[in-house]
Amino acid sequence: MSYGPSSVALESFASLFTKILHYTQHKNLPKGQSLHAHLIKTDISSSCIYLSNSIVNLYAKCHCLFDAHLAFQEIQNKDIVSWNCLINGYSQLGRRDSSISVLNLFKQMRRENYLPNPHTFSGIFTAVSTLEDAFSGKQAHCLGFKLGCLSDVFVGSSLLNMYCKAGGHLVDARKMFDEMPERNSVSWTTMISGYATQRLVKEALGMFRVILWERGQDVNEFVFTSVLSAIALPEFIYVGKQIHGFSLKNGFLWTVSVANATVTMYAKCGSLDDACWAFELSSEKNSITWSAIITGYAQNGDCMKALKLFSEMHLCGMNPSEYTLVGVLNACSDFDALREGKQVHGYLIKLGFVPQMYILTALVDMYAKCGNVTDARRGFDYLKEPDIVLWTSMIAGYVNNGDNENAMGMYCRLLMEGVVPNELTMVSVLKACSSLAALEQGKQIHAHIVKHGFSLEVPIGSALSTMYAKSGSLHEGDLVFRRMPARDLVSWNSMMSGLSQNGRGVEALELFEEMLLDGTRPDYVTFVNILSACSHMGLVKRGWKIFKMMSYEFGIEPRLEHFACMVDMFGRAGKLYEAKEFIESAANHVDCGLCLWRILLSACRNYRNYELGAYAGEKLMELGSQESSAYVLLSSIYSALGRLEDVERVRRLMNLRGVSKEPGCSWIELKSQFHVFVVGDQLHAQIVDIREELWRLSKLMKDEGYKPDFDPCLELEGVMDI
DNA sequence: TTAGGGTTAG
């Protein structure tokens, strides 16, 4: 073998190699560059393929793929190592674009008839894992098999990782793992984290136990971090504590990655005290440690604490990573903290973070959840090819801000652009359909759910049965509900609410009993539903019993909604004085007079109890009601009682307080067009035809014996409309 | 005496 110009001594080569290796290992780019310059000047490297490859490797390890590529192209007599240095340089970046480059380089290499070896395949499988491209993965797998490269433990582990990441291939992956001729700690960790991503906790724990008791030599910090992420669920907190103790005893907790995984595990288990404790005790905090605790508080609903920790982090002189900022943005979203959210947005720009997909998703989410849909949309429009998570955030943003039409429009656009919706997309559009009572569109979404193979598990099943129930299709709603493999509290609640709202109170109550037998613990929403069912069915005794049971048996303090249901229940049953007493006793619990007296006032109108109605109305006046209907009703009641001075007084009060009556309005959607009507409407293009039809229908009703209710109070209310 | 795999934060 030639070592180049004879003037260069053999030991000089040795020293050059040592230097390059050292700079590569320590990612010392400036020193590496000057060495490269020296090599070019003396023309040493062109004669030695080892040196040229090492230069490519140096740039690749320093993440300078552009320079690595240039150095690669300069090599006249490339060998497989030259290709591998470049391919692995790209694959180690772990990005989509770089992984695509890996596959292109691989194709080019094959065209130029270079034979891949195990080093090549580990890079290829890693790139395919990043791309989650099962097709290319299988092709490469076949080639690797043909060339006999799969028995290598590096190739085996990267192939295992590829099948784990592709998802849904865990059984194949496990088979592959069991059949591997050689396994080491990396193969074990890959399998454990494969189970972790699929939330197969028991399987992950099983592997952890084996490695712990049978293969102690393979236990390292990677094993701990992956098993900790696998068990990060509230029901496994005791296992988490054992592993925490074990890692402490064996000295792994002092590794920053294990400490971080421990903080995250406790936070995801919902045990913030333990997370905080692990955070405080961690000897070496990096931005991941801070992100873990900040995100933990944000996800557990203590957004104030999350924001406070962020400023503490700042005071400690620790620079946030983009992940920290995403965690803080999430805290702002749930805390409705638009001002702080905007500050973080500014921070992201200031620190020069490239607006990647997940950062934009967090921003869109924050703006939408803080009610600023316009800015959320600007964030969405920033990227040319938003991923499904970003689409879903935007759609959910519209739904949560009540703009269901735009949500549906976005969903149609998504389908037209060929994007495949995910579970959460379907849940959001189903919510939009529920709010619009758009049964036809809801059925189409149901068809998409079947087409895309989503199961009826929570949350899709729940959203679907709610959509049917709220659109009045209780039979279909019930069918979906019964076919769900498991129901959570929300699914029970929504089905109950559907039944209750559609006049099927008895069935709602039966469902409540069934839910208790099923072992599901009711929440305050459950009680709103069943109290409302009692109210509509006139079941006063039952309602009272349930209202008391709520706090005695379930420890749920009554809220405004529950008090309102009770007053409505008494009111509908004509028990007006009981309602009055109830309101007066409830006044000790919550400040809800405005709402409760208003309900009683309507009930008094319905039962023509004008004296009590006047009493309730005066209470509303005292409380400074801003609802026009309260003033209108009270003045009508005074009219009916002949107390004209009071009529005048109430009207004056209404003017004085600037309360104005909004005209009644209704709308209907026909053939994708909305027809809106307001009181005394003359503007609709077909108003003449509409009036004729109304007249025909009124006549038909009268002919069939319908007698309109001439309540003086109702009549006067009509007079006030003009 | 050049090249490869796995973990934690979203």
Distance B3 C1' – A352 CA (angstroms): 34
Q: Using the CB atom, is residue A13 less than 7 Å from strand B?
A: yes
Q: Place A167 in a pLDDT band, splitting at 50, 70 and 90.
A: low
**Nucleotide nearest residue A125, measured CA to C1':** B5
Out of A206-215, A354-363, A669-678, least confident range: A669-678
Distance B2 C1' – A137 CA (angstroms): 27
pLDDT value at A566 more than 90: yes
In 3-state terms, what secondary structure has residue A77? Answer: coil
Q: Which of A542, A552, A479, A468 is nearest to A505 (CA)?
A: A542
**Nucleotide nearest residue A88, measured CA to C1':** B4
| Rounded average pLDDT over A377-405 | 91
Distance (Å, whole) CA A548 – CA A552: 6
Distance B5 C1' – A14 CA (angstroms): 29
Write out the two tokens for A657. Answer: 């307080």
Query: Within window 24-53 on A, which residues have Cβ closer than 7 Å to strand B?
Result: 24, 49-50, 53
**Nucleotide nearest residue A268, measured CA to C1':** B9
Q: What Cα–Cα distance (Å) separates residue A498 from each residue in A380, A464, A491, A510?
A: 34, 12, 11, 13
Distance (Å, whole) CA A451 – CA A14: 64
pLDDT value at A222 more than 70: yes
pLDDT value at A713 more than 60: no
Write out the two tokens for A534. Answer: 């009692």
Distance (Å, whole) CA A622 – CA A251: 69
pLDDT value at A720 more than 90: no
How many separate helices (H) and strands (E) can be counted in chain A?
Answer: 40, 2
- B4 nearest neighbour residue (CA to C1'): A119
Distance B9 C1' – A492 CA (angstroms): 35
- What is the pLDDT, as a whole number, of residue A715? 46
Out of A1-15, A175-189, A453-467, A489-503, least confident range: A1-15
- What is the pLDDT, as a whole number, of residue A29? 93
- What is the pLDDT, as a whole number, of residue A712? 57
Distance B4 C1' – A118 CA (angstroms): 7
Distance B5 C1' – A142 CA (angstroms): 18
pLDDT value at A677 more than 80: no
pLDDT value at A722 more than 50: no
- What is the pLDDT, as a whole number, of residue A719? 37
Distance B6 C1' – A226 CA (angstroms): 9
Distance B1 C1' – A218 CA (angstroms): 28
Distance B3 C1' – A186 CA (angstroms): 19
Distance B2 C1' – A155 CA (angstroms): 20
Q: Using the CB atom, is residue A262 less than 7 Å from strand B?
A: no
- B6 nearest neighbour residue (CA to C1'): A186
Query: Within window 59-78 on A, which residues have Cβ closer than 7 Å to strand B?
Result: 61
**Helix ranges restricted to H, A370-403:** 373-382, 388-400
Distance B5 C1' – A448 CA (angstroms): 39
Query: Within window 149-178 on A, which residues have Cβ closer than 7 Å to strand B?
Result: 152-158, 161
Q: Are A170 and A138 in contact (CB under 8 A)?
A: no
Average pLDDT along chain A: 88
Neighbours of A438 (CB within 10 A): 20
For A674-713, the DSSP string reads: EEEEETT---STTHHHHHHHHHHHHHHHHHTT------HH
Q: Are A120 and A87 in contact (CB under 8 A)?
A: yes
The CA-based dihedral angle spanning residues A99, A103, A109, A114, taken in that order and rounded to the nearest 10 degrees = 100
- What is the pLDDT, as a whole number, of residue A299? 86
In 3-state terms, what secondary structure has residue A284? Answer: coil
- What is the pLDDT, as a whole number, of residue A376? 94
Indicate the DSSP class of residue A521.
Answer: P
Q: Using the CB atom, is residue A129 less than 7 Å from strand B?
A: yes
Query: Within window 309-368 on A, which residues have Cβ closer than 7 Å to strand B?
Result: 321, 323, 326-327, 330, 356-358, 362
Distance B4 C1' – A126 CA (angstroms): 10
pLDDT in tens, A103-149: 999 999 999 999 999 999 999 999 999 998 888 999 999 999 999 99
Distance (Å, whole) CA A295 – CA A277: 15
| Rounded average pLDDT over A452-463 | 87
- B10 nearest neighbour residue (CA to C1'): A323
Q: Place A1 in a pLDDT band, splitting at 50, 70 and 90.
A: very low
Distance B9 C1' – A261 CA (angstroms): 9
- What is the pLDDT, as a whole number, of residue A356? 82
Q: Using the CB atom, is residue A392 less than 7 Å from strand B?
A: no
- What is the pLDDT, as a whole number, of residue A34? 93
Q: Are A372 and A336 in contact (CB under 8 A)?
A: no
Distance B1 C1' – A14 CA (angstroms): 9
**Nucleotide nearest residue A259, measured CA to C1':** B8
Nearby residues of A653 by Cβ (< 8 Å), 6 or more positions away: A621, A631
Q: Which nucleotides of B are covered by protein (CB under 7 A)?
A: 1-10
- B7 nearest neighbour residue (CA to C1'): A222
Query: Within window 194-213 on A, which residues have Cβ closer than 7 Å to strand B?
Result: 196
Which residue did the predictor score with more confidence, A526 or A666? A526
Nearby residues of A443 by Cβ (< 8 Å), 6 or more positions away: none
Write out the two tokens for A222. Answer: 């990677």
Q: Are A82 and A49 in contact (CB under 8 A)?
A: yes
pLDDT value at A684 more than 90: no
For A597-646, the DSSP string reads: HHHHHHHHHHTT-HHHHHHHHHHHHHTT---HHHHHHHHHHHHHTT-HHH
Query: Within window 413-472 on A, which residues have Cβ closer than 7 Å to strand B?
Result: none
Out of A13-17, A122-126, A312-316, least confident range: A13-17
Of A63-67, A165-169, A555-559, give the range with the top mean pLDDT: A63-67
Distance (Å, whole) CA A216 – CA A404: 57
Distance B1 C1' – A59 CA (angstroms): 20
**Nucleotide nearest residue A357, measured CA to C1':** B10
- What is the pLDDT, as a whole number, of residue A4? 45
Q: Place A5 in a pLDDT band, splitting at 50, 70 and 90.
A: very low
Give me the residue label for tokens 């519209």. A398
- What is the pLDDT, as a whole number, of residue A717? 45
**Helix ranges restricted to H, A383-523:** 388-400, 404-416, 423-436, 439-451, 460-470, 474-483, 489-501, 505-518
Distance B4 C1' – A61 CA (angstroms): 13
- The percentage of chain A sitting over the pLDDT mark of 90, rounded to a whole number, equals 56
- B2 nearest neighbour residue (CA to C1'): A50
Distance B10 C1' – A295 CA (angstroms): 9
Neighbours of A30 (CB within 10 A): 9
Query: Within window 612-631 on A, which residues have Cβ closer than 7 Å to strand B?
Result: none
Angle separating helix axes A153-165 and A134-146, nearest 10 degrees: 160
**Nucleotide nearest residue A296, measured CA to C1':** B9
Q: Are A533 and A505 in contact (CB under 8 A)?
A: yes
Q: Which of A608, A546, A595 is nearest to A568 (CA)?
A: A595
pLDDT value at A716 more than 80: no
Neighbours of A671 (CB within 10 A): 4
Distance B5 C1' – A187 CA (angstroms): 8
Distance (Å, whole) CA A360 – CA A362: 5
| Rounded average pLDDT over A362-391 | 91
- The percentage of chain A sitting over the pLDDT mark of 70, rounded to a whole number, equals 94
**Nucleotide nearest residue A92, measured CA to C1':** B4
**Nucleotide nearest residue A288, measured CA to C1':** B9
pLDDT value at A7 more than 80: no
Angle separating helix axes A560-572 and A576-586, nearest 10 degrees: 160
